[in-house]
Structure 1
Amino acid sequence: MRENGGVTSASPRPWTSASPTLPTRLIATDLDGTLLRDDKSVSPRTVAALAAAEAAGIAVFFVTGRPARWMDVVSAVLHGHGTAICGNGAAVVDLHGGPTAPRFLTVRELAAPLALGVVETLRKVAPGTSFAVERTGGLHHEAAYPPLQLDLAESVAPAEKLLAPGTDAADQPVLKLLAHHPGLAPDVFLALARAAVGEDRANITRSSPTALLEISGPGVSKASTLELCCAEQGISPAEVVAFGDMPNDIEMLDWAGTSYAMGNAHPDVLAAASHLTTGNNDDGVATVIERILAER
């Protein structure tokens, strides 16, 4: 299926061990800074907790800003499910074929004309911004876009050309537009872009420690795609436990009946989540899953 489609700070909520009000049917977890340790590994304790959750009949969804080709970090812990929400909700992917052969189950694309409008706006309000275009077939970026990941570009050209209808990749849906600024603070850049673009034109968020914005189609987020997936399975928000650490997780944490910010989370995530667990390097996700299973 293809579909077109201001962060404020507050005091973090205290740590709490409160359990979900309904039995948990689905665990939705971010990856970087949440399930993954800083070295991008999944700890043995977390692997065991995920396996135990699935053995107990609880579905596990990885919900990440990563593209499908970067999902090798969890290839060893797929167990039975193998479904991930990638690109901040832009794609639902079956990972059983491995990161070199992901099967896109749902694509919620950013229409190229909308992406071009965002590029034009950000060039005006934040001169010096460079862009990359994430399509289902890979990454395309401008020459000035920094090598933030070890990710070879499919092509290098100005964003206006990358988004033009006549390019070789034009038949591949746009999943995300990426915008990087070399001088602005990350949250300042986010607030500036959201105010200039408007949520009716795009959904703008961030997950990187740098001033890198991730831009999806209007209404496309981790939360909205997770909601669609849960509706297909008859799972209500009250039966979902979600984990996250960065602004791109906030909508998902707001939507889920029970939400946990990691101990290492962004201040706005700490304020948005209903509960707090330990940091990603201290198996914060596994700690909660173990307690959920023990209390059954």
Structure 2
Amino acid sequence: MAQNPVTGAPVRLVVTDEDGTFLDLGGEDFSRERFSAVFARMRADGCRFAVATSNQSFQVKDVFGPLVPRVALATSNGAYVEAGGRRLRVSVAPDGGVERVLAAHAAHPEIPLCTVCADGAWVEPGADPDFVAEMTMYSHGMGRVESLADPRARQDVLMFWSRVPEGELARSIAVMREALGGAMDVVDSGCEDGWGYFDVVQRGVSKATGVRVLMEHWGISPEEVVAFGDAGNDVEMLRLAGAGYAMGNADEAVRAAADLVCAPCREQGVLRVLEQLWPE
């Protein structure tokens, strides 16, 4: 089997973030022919593949298409975990936490929100059309409600998404954290094209906890895991893995949390590493 470049253990699980990591920035695609070839070599070597993302499971399944039955999921920042078509865990946000988020949204309407539920996502009709289009790219199961307090948007809430001008990201995160008072966590999920993204997530739920569910399901140890990420919500996962790769486009804090740095996503950094681990 391929050897973990940090621990020397066999690589039994590769897990990657999507946006800014595995997928091309600003799109939902990757080099499919190239990946299919190395994916086949990984599978033959006994290595599993998982996607850990803040995006919804619907989006991941649409992106990976026919490969989906062999791709495990730790989506919605680890709140939804699936392997082999079976849900292994769905972590639902507590009502009190959801109430605090909705109150913060009402007090700060300049900070847009999208509610992510187990079976869909919701925005308000007054939301900026560009914001809605962006959130729909990550959900593929978007609906509209007059208010995020609508019962339909309160059914099995997993997390919330937001997007603000990049210069407003730090302030918006600080405002939300203060308003939530620890009832939910707020994590930076990256910047792109002048916009900053953050997620409001359940306390104690992260990509790392989602990946742990998969590891326990398959009997895989951290030393046997290779992970890739580019943003603040990837840090715990990178620290969990025996070899955590920060993308070349990641900021300094993410690089500091990683063991290694690979080429940026625009240069297909993840695929480059996989092809080194599983050469033709």
Regarding TM over 0.5, the answer is yes
User: In structure 2, do the counterparts of structure 1 residues 262 and 47 end up closer, same or farther at CA, with 3 Å as the change threshold?
Assistant: farther
- Cα deviation for residue 122 of structure 1 reads 5.5
Q: Could you tell me how far 1:180 is from its partner in structure 2?
A: 4.4
Counterpart Cα distance in 2 of 1:55 and 1:132: 40
Question: What letter is aligned with 2:37?
Answer: A
Q: Which runs of 5+ in 2 are unaligned?
A: none
Among 81, 98, 101, the alignment partner of 1:92 is 81
Larger proportion of strand: 2
What CA distance in whole angstroms lies between the structure 2 residues aligned with 1:65 and 1:116? Answer: 21
Look up the match of 1:54.
43
Q: Which has the higher helix share?
A: 2
Question: Residue 110 of structure 1 corresponds to which residue in structure 2?
Answer: 93
Which deviates the most, 232-241 or 142-151?
142-151
What are the superposed Cα offsets for residues 134-167 of structure 1, whole Å, 9 maximum, x if unpaired?
A: 11221122234332244574232223x23xxxx2
Q: Does 1:247 align with 2:232?
A: yes
Alpha-carbon distance in structure 1 between the residues aligned to 2:53 and 2:243: 18
Out of 207, 220, 224, the position equivalent to 2:189 is 207
Distance in 2 between residues matched to 1:181 and 1:293, nearest whole Å: 40
**Is the partner of 2:223 in helix, strand or coil?**
helix
Identity %: 29
Partner SS, residue 237 of structure 2:
helix
Corresponding position of 1:217: 202
Q: Which residue of 1 is the match for residue 156 of structure 2?
A: 173
- 2:53 counterpart residue number: 64
Given that 1:115 and 1:177 are in contact with CA atoms closer than 8 Å, whether structure 2 keeps it comes out as no
Supply the AA of the counterpart residue of 2:188: R
Q: Does the 8 A contact of 1:245 with 1:265 survive in 2?
A: yes
Kindly provide the CA deviation profile for residues 217-260 of structure 1, in whole angstroms up to 9, marking residues without a partner as x. Answer: 11110001111221222211111110011111111111111100
Amino acid at match of 2:156: P
Equivalent position amino acid for 1:130 in 2: P
* 3-state SS of 2:160 partner: strand
Q: How does 1:72-87 map to 2 (within 5 A)?
A: 72-78=62-68, 81-87=70-76
Q: Which residue of 1 aligns with 2:177?
A: 194
> In structure 2, which of residues 245, 249, 260 is the aligned counterpart of residue 260 of structure 1?
245
Q: Do the aligned residues in 1 keep the contact of 2:145 with 2:153 (CA within 8 Å)?
A: no
Measure, in 2, the Cα distance between the counterparts of 1:191 and 1:233.
38
- Give ranges in structure 1 of 5+ residues lacking alignment: 1-16, 97-102
User: What is the TM-score of this pair, normalised by structure 2?
Assistant: 0.83
Counterpart position of 2:20:
33
Normalised by the length of structure 1, the TM-score is 0.79
Contact 1:45 1:283 in 2 (8 A): no
Residue 7 of structure 2: aligned partner:
20
Secondary structure of 1:133's partner? strand
Cα RMSD, aligned residues only: 2.6
Residues 142 and 286 from structure 1, CA distance in 2 versus in 1: closer, same or farther, beyond 3 angstroms? Answer: same
1:63 Cα deviation (Å)?
0.9
Offset of residue 127 of structure 1: 5.4
TM-aligned CA distance change 1:186 to 1:51, over 3 Å: farther
Count the aligned residue pairs: 263
SS at match of 1:75: helix
Q: 1:178 to 1:281 in 2, by over 3 A?
A: closer
The whole-number CA distance in structure 1 between the counterparts of 2:170 and 2:256 is: 16
Amino acid paired to 2:177: R
Provide the rounded CA distance (Å) in 2 between the counterparts of 1:82 and 1:208.
Answer: 24
- 2:119 maps to a residue whose letter is G
Amino acid at match of 1:77: L
Aligned mates of 1:168, 1:190 — CA distance in 2: 26
User: In structure 1, what is the Cα distance between the partners aligned to 2:248 and 2:152?
Assistant: 44
